[in-house]
Amino acid sequence: MAELQAGTPEESAFLAELIDARMLIGSGVPGLLGRGERFERIRAAVDALITRAGADEEPERMAFPPLIPRRQLEQIGYLKSFPHLAGSVFSFEGDEAAAAEQERKASLHQDWSEHQSQTDLVLTPAACYPVYPAIAARGPLPPEGVVVDAGGAYVFRHEPSGDPARLQMFHQREMVRIGAPEAVLDWRARWRDRAVELLRSIGLDARFDVANDPFFGRSGRMLARSQRAQELKFEVLVPIASPQPTAVASFNYHQEHFAEVHGLTIAASDGQPASAAHTACLGFGLERISLALLRAHGLELDRWPAEVRERLELT
């Protein structure tokens, strides 16, 4: 079982305040929260703000369910890097006797997992994952590559926590750039600056920093160090409820990783053979940005600064 990280007193107090105000809806399971009407208005406004910020790139829009094929998770090495965060879908495939036994155990809240078997599906851990095979299936990309807006998809991370900013399922607003290395790196740098500006424009105390993913185990610590040394990951941090600022956006450069897994290539302009594409993605945590706004401006939307409301088109 994953270790439950109890919230700090500040995190627990903020969560209680949000539930009291019907911004969030508790489920009894840490990190699994519903959202009230006003919270959803904020989240949709943040989503739309990001859409407007990226409109000049005319990204191709795609939308996916919060599930990916199990095979894909296996191919990209997710279970090596983040076995502790993955969630798989299991389902029942037995006879009537087994169903009755499963129901008996379940009614007593006992372990009924022996009646379940693994399906072809896993929960999507990052909203960009379905994009790479979808683009690769088209064959070599034109030399300029492609920008994809993967929407605000639900993603799953198995990390139950009492911090309202650490959910087990949340919306990750992802954008993906696939192309030549320089184009991909330029795009990521541009978005990193744009994201800091965007978040400051809605009254958040945003700054960026070099970061690493929460890789698993001892070899994971080495991966994390190398990721930092190569500056493959940036994050934008803002204060929410934790003593430390919380990451609300991340900018990841994968080099040729997804090209190798999915066979993503770019056509050369001069008739030369196609070369491996590089990829980068950026993800905004929509719930986290909404929480940061509530933290910064209070729970009464009507009392938020006029310029913030205007920027978010919250009327």
Number of residues that bind Zn ion (CB under 5 A): 3
Indicate whether 146 belongs to the interface with Zn ion (CB under 5 A): no
Q: CB under 5 A: which stretch of 126-134, 226-234, 254-262, 264-272 binds Zn ion?
A: 126-134
Nearer to Zn ion, 153 or 202 (CB): 153
Closest distance of CB 242 from Zn ion, Å: 23
- Say how many residues make up the chain: 315
Q: Which of residues 274-303 bind Zn ion (CB under 5 A)?
A: 281
Nearer to Zn ion, 23 or 126 (CB): 126
Indicate whether 135 belongs to the interface with Zn ion (CB under 5 A): no
Q: Which of 46, 126, 249, 312 binds Zn ion (CB under 5 A)?
A: 126
Q: Which of 128, 167, 266, 292 binds Zn ion (CB under 5 A)?
A: 128
Nearer to Zn ion, 45 or 127 (CB): 127
Indicate whether 148 belongs to the interface with Zn ion (CB under 5 A): no
Nearest CA to 244 among 253, 235, 257? Answer: 235
Nearer to Zn ion, 128 or 165 (CB): 128
Nearer to Zn ion, 39 or 253 (CB): 253
Question: Rounded CA gap, 106 and 29, in Å?
Answer: 17
Binding site for Zn ion (CB under 5 A): 126, 128, 281
